[in-house]
Amino acid sequence: MEEEFEIEKIESTFDFKGFLLKLLSYWPLFLISLAIAFGVAYYVNVRKLPVYRMQNLVTIKDDQNPFFTTNTSLTFNWGGTTDKVNTAITILESRSHNESVVERLQYYLNYKKDGKYKKIDAYKKTPFYVEVDTLKPQILGQEINIQFKDSITFTVATDFGEGGIKRLQVYDTKAIVNRNFESGTFSQDFKLGEKIELPFFNGRLLSREGFTTRPGVPYYLSFSNFDAAVKRYKISILQQPPGSSVLRLNMVGTNKAKLVDYLNTSVEVLQDNALERKNLFATKTIKFIDSMLQRKSEELLDVEDELNNFKNRSAVLSLESEGAQLQARLNSLDIRKEGVEQELNYYRVLEDYLVNRKDYRSVPAPSVAGITEGSIVSGVGKIVALAQDRSKLEYSFKEGAPVFNDIDRQIDALKKVLLENITSSKGLINQELSNINRDIARYEAEIRRLPKEQQDLIKIERRYNLSQGSYNLFLSKLSEANLVKAANVSDVLVIDSAKDTGGGQVGPNTQLNYILAGLYGFLIPFVIVFLRVFFDTKIHTVKDVERLSKIPMLGVIGKSRLDNNLAVLEKPKSAIAESFRGIRSSLQFMYKKQGIEGTKTVLITSSVSGEGKTFTSINIASVFALSEKKTVLLGLDLRKPKIFGDFNIDNDRGIVNYLIHDLELPQIIQKTQVPHLDIITSGPIPPNPSELLMGERMEHLINELKKEYDYIILDSPPVGLVTDSLELIKFADATIYMVRQNYTKRGMFSLINEKYKRGEVSNISFILNFFNDKPKYGYGYGYGYGYGYGYGKYGNGYHEDGAKPSLWEKISRFLKFRK
């Protein structure tokens, strides 16, 4: 088994020019990638639905009630426009607001119809609309087919598949229920306006104006989970200009009618909520006054009946002059007393709210009790406004946030001032009440001097007048409250409502898709090629060798297509044969430069097996022999002998026999069919090849051969696997180190570079074998190294090259990404 060569160091180099040429060599990959990318872009573009942006424009006002007075105001407008704008933005973005809009529009029901490539949204594009029964369950996610038979009759159909448990939702309560459905298809006919009561669908279909039913055209309905439907809709809000009270609401989607309705309904919900908050005091006051009027009405009827019965029983029909005067004075005092007691009772209720409660939004209005004290009215209004602000901020902040702490501090400060004012006002009111009670007691003492019938009549009429006065007072307050409520308008004003004016398309951006297709179509193969180059540790070009080592290049040998190693002998006019002749010339120049006379020796080695040592050894020996020089080829790879097979000789005897003194030199030399070329094979594989090659017998063999031959070619083992070649280098006048394109790894140069740097090897040169001079490998070796590959340099008129690969072979090799 071949031993693994350990890569110690790989020099990090990047040939930018070679990388560009390699990119060009992969043009089919770029072409295929771009074709796929543009095909995907086209597929996406033709199937994408148009995307629209709809918008409306609103402003948040700070309208004060035109009937605002200290007596009639039942609402408070502190905080200013800025606060109202921020509150409106927060509400529009809140989940509860979107729930209200979806519920009002019933956007949990989806309408679809067949499009060119797929089913598309058909909201407001169907000849009917569905009135959903929100009190009954509707099946979720199940497609319901609606197909008209004529202008009135239609079929409701759905396929339950294998049946089983299905989820349904009651949209009124949002409750989810489960029901078991049998497998198979359901189908039933109904008429427009007819109530549909099915286990999976409840409601009725009504005709939509402006549309004509088309028999045989299918439409599709489906129900979505309410919460999921709410999540699908989101409004984008922009203040124009920033910080102003003008808001532009935007939505993007594929159905313009759906966007228009959602934007306009969203504003309607916001207006209704704003007006409802603004009318909060008026609504509560009206409710309170209605209850008080009911009580006072009952009291008044009872007293009126009592007065009539008294007059019928007694002869006294009217009061005398003195009694009438006393009654008038007492009536005035009673009304004053009731008003003062109402004020005092209001202060007690307000004090209880401030001391014992945390939610101040329901604090009663001071005007209900007839309180006009400016500090009380202002203080209550500010506390209510702050409490409402706190409630609004709960949409977007959690309890305990700093903004709540700040509001709570303001409320506490107002409470402290209000409680002090309440204490002061209660003292004054109690003093006034004592004075009224004293006057009433004085007049009652005078009444007791009148006749018994006159006293009884005064008491009854006194109660009647008091009830009548209270009833009239509350009736007046009710009128005021209704007037205030009727005069209130929402602070949300629509400047431009959302409307489909024929434009608004913002997508899809098909041009951008094609740009992205071009970008990704180029980038993906670029990254693939870059990663291959970056992580590629193999030698591809002469420049790679030159960057990795200072050892000179002797020549380049092309790729042989023969089944054996006899390239020079079988194809003497081929480019490969010319390459070896060029190497022969370069070796002779080296020998001449070194001043070597007589027999010359050449050692061929490499890093690992498979780089072409035997191929090069045989053909270098062949070119020397063809020049009529006596040449001997020695197979010194004692572990993996190879050279005998190409010459049809056996390996039974060889160098091993000579080294162990089994045979003499003439007995191991074998003649070949080539004149002047002899071969000495390695012989039987020994157990100790390194020791045999290091012995004196090996040196004696070389000396003996030098006496008979002009050239000695040494085919040695790989220097990267064993140390045999290093021991044989001393016998070589020139050493050839084989490098194979797309096979030899860059890290394999570390060992020979180190030996060359320390001077342990000399007169060494590289030969790049199996070279394919194409841009895929960067760029070729060019001129200056023997004859090179020869295709481009000489042309077909000089060489007889092997058959070129077929187109299919080229495609197969390309798809395999040859390394």
Name which of 81-90, 225-234, 454-463, 606-615 the model is least confident about.
454-463
Same domain membership, residue 561 and residue 471: no
Same domain membership, residue 167 and residue 32: no
* More confident position, 138 or 564: 138
The C-alpha R_g of the chain, in whole angstroms, comes to 54
Q: What is the pLDDT of residue 200?
A: 95
Highest-confidence segment of 56-70, 498-512, 692-706, 789-803: 692-706
593-608 residue pLDDT tens: 989 989 999 999 988 8
What integer is the mean pLDDT of 649-672? 91
Residue 492 three-state SS: strand
What is the spatial distance between Cα 539 and Cα 542, in angstroms, rounded to a whole number? Answer: 8
Q: What is the pLDDT of residue 778?
A: 46
Q: What torsion, rounded to 10 degrees, do the Cα atoms 547, 551, 555, 557 define?
A: -70
* Other CB atoms within 10 A of residue 583 CB: 25
Residue 38 lies in a domain: yes
Same domain membership, residue 566 and residue 526: no
Work out whether strand 553-558 and strand 764-771 pair parallel, antiparallel, or are unpaired: parallel
Same domain membership, residue 300 and residue 191: no
Q: Which residue has the tokens 């870059």?
A: 530
Q: What is the pLDDT of residue 790?
A: 35
Name which of 93-97, 104-108, 485-489 the model is least confident about.
485-489
317-346 residue pLDDT tens: 455 555 666 667 777 777 777 777 777 887
Q: What is the pLDDT of residue 77?
A: 43
Q: What is the pLDDT of residue 796?
A: 39
The confidence band for 449, taking pLDDT boundaries of 50, 70 and 90, is low
Same domain membership, residue 788 and residue 662: yes
Residue 528 lies in a domain: yes
Residue 688 lies in a domain: yes
* More confident position, 654 or 426: 654
What is the spatial distance between Cα 51 and Cα 45, in angstroms, rounded to a whole number? Answer: 12
Same domain membership, residue 181 and residue 38: no
Residue 55 lies in a domain: no
What integer is the mean pLDDT of 742-746? 88
Same domain membership, residue 340 and residue 413: yes
94-105 residue pLDDT tens: 888 999 999 999
* Other CB atoms within 10 A of residue 532 CB: 13
Structure tokens at 83: 């606060």
* More confident position, 496 or 454: 496
- Per-residue exposure over 84-123, b if at least 16 CB sit within 10 Å of its own CB, e if not: bbbbbbbbbeeeebbbbbbbebbbbbbbbeeeeeeeebbb
Same domain membership, residue 520 and residue 574: no
* More confident position, 585 or 386: 585
What integer is the mean pLDDT of 390-398? 65
Q: How far apart are the first and last CA of the chain?
A: 23
Same domain membership, residue 188 and residue 134: yes
Q: What is the pLDDT of residue 808?
A: 62
The domain boundary, picked from 494, 524, 550, lies at 494
- State residue 680 phi and psi, 5-degree precision: -115, 110
Q: What is the pLDDT of residue 373?
A: 73
* Best CA proximity match to 98, nearest among 232, 240, 293: 232
The confidence band for 783, taking pLDDT boundaries of 50, 70 and 90, is very low
* More confident position, 106 or 11: 106
Residue 353 lies in a domain: yes
The confidence band for 817, taking pLDDT boundaries of 50, 70 and 90, is very low
Q: What is the pLDDT of residue 459?
A: 67
Q: What is the pLDDT of residue 791?
A: 35
Same domain membership, residue 483 and residue 599: no
Q: What is the pLDDT of residue 418?
A: 83
Q: Which residues contact 560 (CB under 8 A, 6 or more apart)?
A: 567, 576, 615, 770, 802
What is the spatial distance between Cα 698 and Cα 119, in angstroms, rounded to a whole number? Answer: 88
CATH of the domain at 551: 3.40.50.300
* Chain mean pLDDT for the chain: 81
- State residue 743 phi and psi, 5-degree precision: -135, -50
* Best CA proximity match to 433, nearest among 368, 369, 367, 343: 343
Model confidence at 758: pLDDT above 80: yes
Same domain membership, residue 313 and residue 182: no
Q: What angle do CA 734, 736, 742 make, to 5 degrees?
A: 170
Q: What is the pLDDT of residue 379?
A: 78
Residue 211 lies in a domain: yes
**Helix boundaries (H) for 595-687:** 613-626, 655-659, 665-668
Q: What is the pLDDT of residue 260?
A: 94
The confidence band for 362, taking pLDDT boundaries of 50, 70 and 90, is low
What is the spatial distance between Cα 741 and Cα 611, in angstroms, rounded to a whole number? Answer: 9
Name which of 177-181, 190-194, 220-224, 785-789 the model is least confident about.
785-789
**Structural domain total, the chain:** 4
Model confidence at 520: pLDDT above 70: yes
The domain boundary, picked from 468, 494, 520, lies at 494
Q: Which residues contact 435 (CB under 8 A, 6 or more apart)?
A: none
30-85 residue pLDDT tens: 999 999 999 998 888 887 888 899 999 999 876 555 444 444 444 444 444 556 78
What integer is the mean pLDDT of 605-632? 92
Q: What is the pLDDT of residue 313?
A: 65
Model confidence at 703: pLDDT above 70: yes
Residue 148 lies in a domain: yes
Work out whether strand 185-191 and strand 153-159 pair parallel, antiparallel, or are unpaired: antiparallel
Q: What is the pLDDT of residue 779?
A: 43
Q: What is the pLDDT of residue 131?
A: 95
Q: What is the pLDDT of residue 107?
A: 95
The domain boundary, picked from 516, 534, 552, lies at 534
Segment 208-212 long-range contacts (CB within 8 Å, at least 24 positions apart): 208/124, 208/126, 208/127, 208/128, 208/129, 211/126, 211/127, 211/128, 212/127, 212/151
Model confidence at 658: pLDDT above 50: yes
Q: What is the pLDDT of residue 670?
A: 93
Name which of 15-24, 275-284, 681-690, 706-715 the model is least confident about.
275-284
Crossing angle for the helix pair 452-487 and 402-447, nearest 10 degrees?
150
Structure tokens at 741: 């394109």
Same domain membership, residue 636 and residue 673: yes
Residue 99 lies in a domain: no
Model confidence at 363: pLDDT above 80: no
Range of the domain at 303: 283-494
Q: What is the pLDDT of residue 199?
A: 94
289-310 residue pLDDT tens: 777 777 777 777 777 676 667 6
